[in-house]
Amino acid sequence: MAQRTTETGQDRVDLPGARPGDPPSTAHATGEVDHRSTRTGRRRGWYGTKKYVKRVLGWRLPNLAMRGSVRVAAPRLRDTGRLPVPAATPEVVGRVDGAEYIMLSPARCVVAAELYWGEGRRPHPADDFALALFAKAARRSATVFDIGAYTGLFTLASTAVNPNIRAHAFEIVPEVFHALFDNCVRNRVLHRTTLHHVGVGDPRTTIAMPMRSADSALPCFYSSTMTFTDGIPIGVAALDSFTEEPPPGTSTVLKVDVEGTEASVFEHGQDFLGAHRPDILCEVLPGADGEHLRTLLEPHGYRFHLVGERALAPESPIVGHDRFRDWFFTTRTRDDLQRMGIPVAP
């Protein structure tokens, strides 16, 4: 592995994974702590044991024993979709709104693992309903923007239900981006999918992501707010820079899952929103500034619905919810949504 050495005051720092001539690591220069070394990061990895436990439980006999134990002692645990998948499982078939798609490597991809345990569906009802309503919007759209694509669930579902849709998928984590590419190849949709290895937000900034996570699964929670001492620079594009992409007079649908930085997406997407008024499925975490999101979206005619398990909640202010994290932002009326097959609670 190549090394880079840079001066930080009186300290001399060797950075793993760097190449000669690379710019200095911001994290090293400022003395910030790598996210993976923080208490939160170590707890997510079960203090270094998680990848080894999951590796063993992925073997055939331990996996069979785990299934039997869960069936007897904790049957609801299977419904979480987070149990280890047999390591020899190459792919899983997902199903949404009458269409099928394929996701590779369920032993490493947490979304594919959910589909494995859910027999093609997302195990959590609210997650499954969110994907279904997004697919219904995609059926009527010419273009989909999957911002925070991870390994491509919403991109694959959209291209499965609509053979004419053009997709743009954005993913910032290098090893996850590779998995996204592989899934698009496996589903034969690369010719109508443009993959962007950039973030979406303030184009004056760059972010840093690690070349390898060393996690037991492909990380689905990394964000631009985290620090990685071996991070490589990743560019950021404004949503406004894609304003000319959707054909005039057609519908567009967005998915935004950016771990708390959704306001930046919309701040630098005002021209895009004004031109296309897309339907938006957006994760809003507890503690998010819902009022700020409202001021960014309401001038374009948006209404705000919390995504429940079987229907959208009635229009309401944006407030982070501990249990339900997805919101549907749309300029459509209740009657419009009902005609699309998307139920709205009374």
Per the domain annotation, does 249 fall within a domain? yes
Q: Examine the domain organization and report whether 168 and 96 are in the same domain.
A: yes
Confidence (pLDDT) at 26 = 45
**Structural contact between residues 5 and 12, judged by C-beta atoms closer than 8 angstroms:** yes
Per the domain annotation, does 42 fall within a domain? no
Q: Examine the domain organization and report whether 21 and 106 are in the same domain.
A: no
Confidence (pLDDT) at 16 = 34
Query: Which residues 6+ apart lie within 8 Å of 46 measured at CB?
Result: 53
Per the domain annotation, does 344 fall within a domain? no
Per the domain annotation, does 52 fall within a domain? no
Confidence (pLDDT) at 64 = 66
pLDDT at 60 over 80: no
**CATH number of 238's domain:** 3.40.50.150
Q: Rank 23-27, 58-62, 270-274 by mean pLDDT and report only the highest.
A: 270-274
**Which residue range forms the structural domain that includes residue 1?**
1-32
Angle between helices 153-161 and 125-139 (to 10 degrees): 50
Per the domain annotation, does 266 fall within a domain? yes
Q: Examine the domain organization and report whether 322 and 206 are in the same domain.
A: yes
User: For residue 207, is it left (φ>0), alpha (ψ between -120 and 50) or beta?
Assistant: beta
What ranges make up the beta strands (E) of the chain?
3-8, 11-16, 91-96, 99-104, 143-147, 166-170, 193-196, 199-200, 206-210, 231-237, 252-256, 279-283, 303-306, 326-330
Confidence (pLDDT) at 55 = 65
Instruction: Give the residue from 245, 237, 218, 265 showing the smallest Cα distance to 85.
Output: 218
Chain-wide mean pLDDT for the chain? 85
Token pair of 208 as six digits: 């840093």
Confidence (pLDDT) at 161 = 98
What integer is the mean pLDDT of 299-317?
97
Kindly list the distances between the CA atom of residue 180 and the CA atoms of 109, 154, 268, in Å, as whole numbers in the listed order: 10, 11, 25
Q: Examine the domain organization and report whether 6 and 124 are in the same domain.
A: no
> In the chain, pLDDT over 90 holds for what percent of residues?
66
Q: Examine the domain organization and report whether 236 and 113 are in the same domain.
A: yes
Instruction: Give the residue from 30, 218, 41, 222 showing the smallest Cα distance to 113.
Output: 218
Confidence (pLDDT) at 4 = 28
What integer is the mean pLDDT of 263-268?
98
Tally of domains within the chain: 2
Confidence (pLDDT) at 330 = 98
Confidence (pLDDT) at 310 = 96
Q: Examine the domain organization and report whether 21 and 137 are in the same domain.
A: no
Q: Which long-range contacts (CB under 8 A, 24 or more apart) does 206-209 make?
A: 206/233, 206/234, 206/235, 206/236, 207/172, 207/231, 207/233, 207/234, 207/236, 208/25, 208/26, 208/27, 208/232, 208/233, 208/234, 209/172, 209/173, 209/174, 209/234
Confidence (pLDDT) at 190 = 97
pLDDT at 80 over 50: yes
Q: Examine the domain organization and report whether 120 and 16 are in the same domain.
A: no
Token pair of 260 as six digits: 């708390």
Q: Examine the domain organization and report whether 247 and 316 are in the same domain.
A: yes
Q: Rank 4-13, 18-27, 75-84, 183-192 by mean pLDDT and report only the highest.
A: 183-192
| pTM of the predicted structure, to 2 decimals | 0.82
Q: Examine the domain organization and report whether 215 and 307 are in the same domain.
A: yes
What integer is the mean pLDDT of 104-127?
94
Q: Examine the domain organization and report whether 134 and 9 are in the same domain.
A: no
**Structural contact between residues 91 and 105, judged by C-beta atoms closer than 8 angstroms:** yes
